[in-house]
Structure 1
Amino acid sequence: MPFLKLHTLSRRVKRAIFLSVDSLLVPISLYFAFALRYGTAQPFSYLASSWVLFPILSIIGVILALGVRLDRIKLNAFESRAMTRIAIVSMALAMSAIVLSYLLGLNAPRSVPLLFGVIFCLLAVFARLGGLAFLNWLAEHGSDHTRVAIYGAGAAGIQLASALRQAQEARPVFFVDDNPSLQGLMIAGLPVFAPDALKMQLARAGIEQILLAVPSLSKVRRAEIVETLKGYEAEVKVLPSYIELMSGKGLVESLMPVSPDQLLGRDKVVLDTPEIAKSYAGRVVMVTGAGGSIGSELCRQLIHCKPTRIILFEQSEYQLYQIDQEMQAEADGRNITVVARLGSVTNSPRVENVIAEEGVDIILHAAAYKHVPLVEENELEGARNNVLGTQVVAAAAAKAKLERFILVSTDKAVRPTNIMGATKRLSELVVQDIQTRSAVTKFAMVRFGNVLGSSGSVLPLFQRQIAKGGPVTVTHKDVTRFFMTIPEAARLVLLAGAYAEGGDVFVLDMGQPQKIIDIAHQMIALSGRKVKDPVTGEGDIAIEITGLRPGEKLYEELLIDSDSLLGTPHPKILRAEETMLSELEVASMLREIQGSLTANDVTKLRDIIVQRVEGYHQQIDDHAIG
């Protein structure tokens, strides 16, 4: 229904509509004035001598409306001052009609201009009230919003109702108040019910949330009311008290999430280019690890590239279900088929069957174990999934002669100090090797910095710690990282597919690395809190230094050899051609890794990594951080 999008119209269009309505009301009001004066619905014979008033007063009406800014009155803020402006225009129009009648020698009765002014005033007011009622009706019946009841019909409750009416997410339905003098009244357009009637009204109106908006309540009384409200089948939310608002305490639970863009320390990189849509349009694209942070964002962005089909490949049933539900809704009406396939990237027959059955053209390989501490303690499974899984999928892509294969890698693969980074570097070597024997498929790799907002990143961790009142834990005061947002990461993968020539390593120019401790300070400040001073104890949230974790580096690098950098069509995306192992060395490495997995030999796996991964060294535990 097109009317549902009225609220999205630009302010200029809305002003034009208001101005058009007011200009039409001028001749309509003048016609009604003549009709009332002469007592007939068709006073055409009496208008013959005064027809000139219609065009002149219409022009004057537009000038007056612009002069007092009638077109700038917001419907949902229509109040006494707005009515005063309409009254001023009405009186000015009546005076103009009198003066024009005198100057032009018209014989219209003197009562016509007065009736004209009154009628215009009434019609202008009712037109706005009608428009407001229509928009409210649309909001009630034509949008998906949360229906809420407000407990407290005082000043705070009225202001909350007004704010909610201007939002699209929630709609206030009624007030609840234990003050008998307010019960039964209509306040701010909403009925006020007694607490005893709440249960019945909740069921009748389909209320999903109850908002307690009585900031003057004592903590004891507020706790009593909340305890009572929790007995109903509706979520209960509480506005902080005035004292808490003044002190800044009690707001943590209602904090808005910190946007990753606020923590980048640089401008977002614009990666929207025509090459992306051109490279994926009409193709069948398979995303491995489709339920993960990067994989799911890749799927969301692929929708806009108009592929024929998107194949979601994921070993986690729950994550596959979630992304499949989301993508089916997004793909609906776009003529794009979304297919969900359960399976592990280490299962070669399953991977090959899915590729063949679905007619895959491009693979975006995002499936990996990426959490450094977990992989450090589960080395063999990390190698199985990250190295052998990549080998399985890349080999299947080459065998099926697909168009492209893009590996999602990490900056931790460069001179790694942990098993996760080392396995990602080994997976890069595998992809580079397969490229040398593939005349059709173009293979490429993308190295990310830390992806803000992804699972396991500092953003959700720090947000949880701040919500609990601290402390925020940082492993070392000098730890630095490159940062990028999830959309930037996904876009970089898609662009790598467009720019791939074979065996490329793509990186994003992410500016200067940032200190993690600085990120912690920013997040605490953006949450409206203060960092606690360890000496004086002043402040809200403490920052605690915990010591480097096993395998953690103080800083990360994006390239093994910066001299190998080459440009791309995008100024912020760089391509590197790095050293690689021979075919015999890669084959030997894969056999050795398989042998270490079969023998469950962690020591052998670490020896393989030391031999094959350039710059690998184990990080010495560092707890003396000063």
Structure 2
Amino acid sequence: MRRNKAALLSLSAFVFDIAMLALVWESAYLLRFNGQIPRAFFDGGLRALFWVLPSYAVMFFAFGLYRGIWAFASLPDLLRIAKAIAAGALVTMVASLMLQPEPVTPRSVLIVSPLLLFLGMGGARAIYRASKEFYLYGGLVSQGKPVIVIGAGRAGASLARELSRSSEWRLVGLLDDDPSKQGRELYGHKVLGTIADLSRIAATFKAEYAIISIPSASVDVQRRVATLCLRAGVHAMVLPALTALVPGQGFLSQVRQIDLEDLLGREPVRIDTNGLRELLGGHVVMVTGAGGSIGSELSRQIARFEPAQLIALDISEFAMYRLVEELRERFPTVPVLPVVGDAKDSLLLDQVMERHLPHIVYHAAAYKHVPLMEQVNAWQAVRNNVMGTYRVGRAAMRHGVKRFVLISTDKAVNPTNVMGASKRLAEMVCQALQRTTSQTRFETVRFGNVLGSAGSVIPKFQEQIAKGGPVTVTHPEITRFFMTIPEASQLVLQASSMGNGGEIFILDMGQPVRIVDLARDLIRLCGYGEDQIRIEFTGLRPGEKLFEELLADDETTLPTPHPKLRIARAREAEQALLDEVLPWLTQHRALRDEEVRRDLRRWVPEYQPSNVPELEVVVSRTASQS
């Protein structure tokens, strides 16, 4: 049925074109003789149609004029019409010379008739499309939510065209910083001003929505525009990079809401894929803490390079289950060995490494929540972070692992909390182990907070907003470094391919972000104002810094071949450190928090613990009362 309808429409279009051809052919005679055609030329013109019509008809079909749909006629259709008419005119001229009709066909007729035919055929299609679009979309002009498109380039023009047909949106205009585009129009929509005028124009047209359509702009520009939208109280959406667009889909269907990564994101990381493929491809790779935020993303990134086997170790059964299910679905050709166990279990580590002989180990297992590890759990934090690092490192040495990579943190720099001090001591343990071996290369990678990691501030803010607030921030001036989990993981892999042993690599974390600004932006992203979701300041928590650092005061850095990686020249640890630390970690009693803080300063002199109330007193008092 549908095929018959299409054939009927094509036949109707062909009949129209033939009728138009006959009309313009006789019209050309009228123009040639100023409206008074001599009888002989009138009859000659009619006779000529017997060979003019078939000549053009053949060309119409040869150039595929009836494969398109009139309702969607566009520039390619006009080009096909022009080519078919030019070919038909050429055939007609040659036939006129060869047949030598009596009287001779005037040359002006041979020239004017193709021009009139192009105007007739092209104009008819344009009028049909315009009337069809007006019938379908003309009534939508006053409907839909008012929206502004930011960016008047190719992507913006495509969006403007699609928005004009949308019943959901009503495009009020475009914004662009290019002076040559100011006041110009795209598909009937005017470029109203620059991007800086967003707040004023949104208020003038009562537009609560904006689509950022500058996919080729730098990340810095996109972040600035996204922030401007939020500060103007406009719900912002974004068109992804042109390279990420799905072929065959309209631009409007691929517009998405902006998220926190758009506000904090940076230029994409470029890594040496060939070097990493040589390091990881075809080798057995082990990741501890594989169920965590960083460990799981490391596992995903490693799987891209097709290792011979990926050993994933984590103490959480559920986290391991989720990771393995995902890896087996996304990377079915990569063998994954799930190991549920403690990174401090030497017997388990020896058993796994002896049987599978990993080439490289990424040690991401750690306790990292600062307030939680600061009170009551300080001893467990030190044992897990330091003893776990030592035992995984020693097992790696015993079984010929070529590289050992410790995932550290910016909180290890001039630490003020137990978690940071324990990670600094873990770094020093790796340096001490490096002095005892030439077979295994020990490397450390430091970085700050990652967006969306377990226990980070952002999921907490989102939960508080979902409950209607308030959003709690510890201090109005507190700042943190942020990067995305994939970016951090890719740079960890890059660093692991560059070290010679003993280095502490530092990731370029960009500029620090004020947490209160982060909270305000997240509230606006969720569609609320600060009058709806309040921000409360609760004071710094135990062990919490106001500003994080990536380098200690007495450290210097050295450049690396990668622009986002540097090497810290930290105070190095001697092998004798192990002789002092190990007996302390293996003693047969659990130290109290104040003892842990006191002893940590023996090996980490830059550690300056903050004044924290001893929660044990509160706990014991509560227990006695109950």
Residue 529 of structure 1, CA deviation: 2.1
Q: Distance in 2 between the 1:393 and 1:258 partners? A: 41
Conserved 8 A contact 1:507-1:573? yes
Superposition deviation, residue 282 in structure 1: 1.3
- Matching residue of 2:606: 615
Cα deviation, residue 384, structure 1 = 1.6
Structure 2: gaps of 5 or more residues:
1-5, 19-49, 102-116, 130-142, 145-161, 163-232, 236-255, 614-626
1:56 aligns with 2:59: yes
1:59 and 1:364, CA in 2 relative to 1: closer, same or farther beyond 3 A? same
Q: Contact conserved, 1:314 with 1:343, CA < 8 A, in 2?
A: yes
3-state SS of the aligned residue for 1:590? helix
Q: Which residue of 2 aligns with 1:357?
A: 355
What are the residue-to-residue correspondences of 1:401-550 with 2, within 5 Å?
401-531=400-530, 539-550=531-542
Question: Aligned-pair distance for 1:64?
Answer: 12
**Cα deviation per residue 1:335-393 (whole Å; 9 max; x = unaligned)?**
32111111110100101111121221110111111111111120111112111011000
Which digits, 9 at most, give the CA deviation of each residue in 1:264-305, with x for residues without a partner? 2x6235133233233211111111011100011111111212
Q: Does 2:260 match 1:277?
A: no
Per-residue CA distance 1:442-481 (angstroms, 9 max, x = gap): 1101111111111111221111212222111100111111
Task: Check if 1:305 corresponds to 2:297.
Answer: no
The aligned residue for residue 338 of structure 2 is: 340
Equivalent residues in 2 for 1:239-388, closer than 5 Å = 259-264=259-264, 267-274=266-273, 275-332=275-332, 335-377=333-375, 378-388=377-387
Pair 1:323–1:97, CA change in 2 (3 A): same
Between the aligned partners of 2:11 and 2:397, the Cα distance in structure 1 is 76
Distance in 2 separating the partners of 1:546 and 1:404: 43
- Distance change (3 Å), C-alpha of 1:331 and 1:48: farther
Aligned to 1:572: 564
Cα deviation, 1:229-267, whole Å, max 9, x if unaligned, reads xxxxxxxxxxxxxxxxxx999xxxxxx886342342x62
Gaps of 5+ in 1: 1-21, 35-46, 74-84, 108-112, 126-154, 157-165, 167-246, 250-255, 532-538
CA deviation vs aligned residue, 1:571-591 (integer Å, no higher than 9, x gap)? 121011311232222321221
Contact 1:276 1:305 in 2 (8 A): yes
> SS in structure 1 opposite 2:597?
helix
User: CA separation of 1:459/1:263 partners in 2, compared to 1, >3 Å: closer, same or farther?
Assistant: farther
Equivalent position SS for 2:382: helix
Native 8 Å contact 2:373 2:381 kept in 1? yes
1:72, 1:270 → 2: CA distance? 40
Deviations 1:310-343, CA, capped at 9 Å, x for gaps? 11111100000000000011121xx321111111
Alignment partner of 1:554 is 2:552: no
Number of residue pairs aligned between Structure 1 and Structure 2: 435
Contact 2:56 2:89 in 1 (8 A): no
Specify whether residues 511 and 298 from structure 1 end up closer, same or farther in structure 2 by C-alpha distance, changes over 3 A only.
same
Distance 1:341 1:511, change over 3 A: same
Range moving further from structure 2, 402-411 or 57-66: 57-66
Provide the C-alpha distance between the structure 1 equivalents of 2:461 and 2:418, rounded to a whole number of angstroms: 25
Q: Do the aligned partners of residues 474 and 601 (structure 1) sit closer, same or farther apart at CA in structure 2, a change above 3 Å counting?
A: closer
Aligned equivalents of 2:365, 2:417: Cα separation in 1 = 19
The Cα shift of 1:428 comes to 0.6
The amino acid of 2:470's aligned partner reads P
Name the residue aligned to 1:70.
73
| 2:60 counterpart letter in structure 1 | L
Measured in 2, the distance between the counterparts of 1:552 and 1:257 equals 33
Structure 1 pair 268/591, CA: closer, same or farther in 2 (3 Å)? farther
RMSD: 4.6
Contact 1:376 1:419 in 2 (8 A): yes
TM-score by length of 1: 0.61
Stretch of structure 1 that moved more, 96-105 or 294-303: 96-105
Inter-CA distance 283–617: structure 2 relative to 1 (3 Å threshold)? same
Contact preservation (8 Å) 2:597, 2:609: no
Structure 1 residue 594: Cα displacement: 2.0
Show CA shifts across 1:193-214 (max 9, x none). xxxxxxxxxxxxxxxxxxxxxx
Helix, strand or coil at the partner of 2:408: strand
**Separation in structure 1 between the aligned mates of residue 584 and residue 95 of structure 2, nearest angstrom:** 105
SS of residue paired to 2:324:
helix
d(CA) in 1 for partners of 2:67, 2:286:
62
Letter in 2 for 1:459: I
Counterpart CA distance in 2 for 1:561 and 1:515 is: 22
- Name the counterpart of 2:398: 399
Within 1, Cα distance between the matches of 2:529 and 2:75? 40
Greater displacement, 500-509 / 271-280: 271-280
Would the aligned equivalents of 1:26 and 1:61 in 2 still touch at CA under 8 Å?
A: no
Give the Cα separation in 1 of the matches to 2:84 and 2:67: 8
| TM-fit CA distance, 1:98 | 12
Equivalent residues of 1:481, 1:514 under 8 A apart: yes
Return the TM-score normalized by structure 2.
0.61
Q: For 1:600-620, what per-residue CA distance to the aligned partner results, in whole angstroms no more than 9, with x for missing partners?
A: 444432222121113111223
**CA deviation map 1:526-570 (0-9, x unaligned):** 223222xxxxxxx22111001111110111111125653111110
Q: Is the 8 A contact 1:409 1:446 kept in 2?
A: yes
Over 3 Å counting, the alpha-carbon distance change for 1:306 and 1:55 in structure 2 is farther
Larger radius of gyration: 2
Partner of 2:133 in structure 1?
none
% identical aligned pairs: 39
CA 1:57–1:547: 2 relative to 1, 3 Å: same
* CA distance 1:56–1:506, shift in 2 (3 Å): same
Q: Deviations over 1:116-148 (max 9, x none)?
A: x9xx99xx99xxxxxxxxxxxxxxxxxxxxxxx
Q: Answer yes or no: is the 8 Å Cα contact 2:478–2:546 preserved in 1.
A: yes
Q: Tell me which residue corresponds to 1:581.
A: 573
In the alignment, the residues of structure 2 paired with residue 371 and residue 313 of structure 1 have an alpha-carbon distance, to the nearest angstrom, of 20
Note if contact 1:397-1:441 (Cα within 8 Å) is conserved in structure 2.
Answer: yes
CA, structure 1 residues 258+405, in 2 after alignment: closer, same or farther (shift >3 Å)? Answer: farther
**For the residues of structure 1 that align with 2:63 and 2:314, how far apart are their CA atoms?**
68
Instruction: Give 1:59 shift.
Output: 7.0
The 1:258–1:60 alpha-carbon spacing in structure 2 relative to 1, beyond 3 Å, is: closer
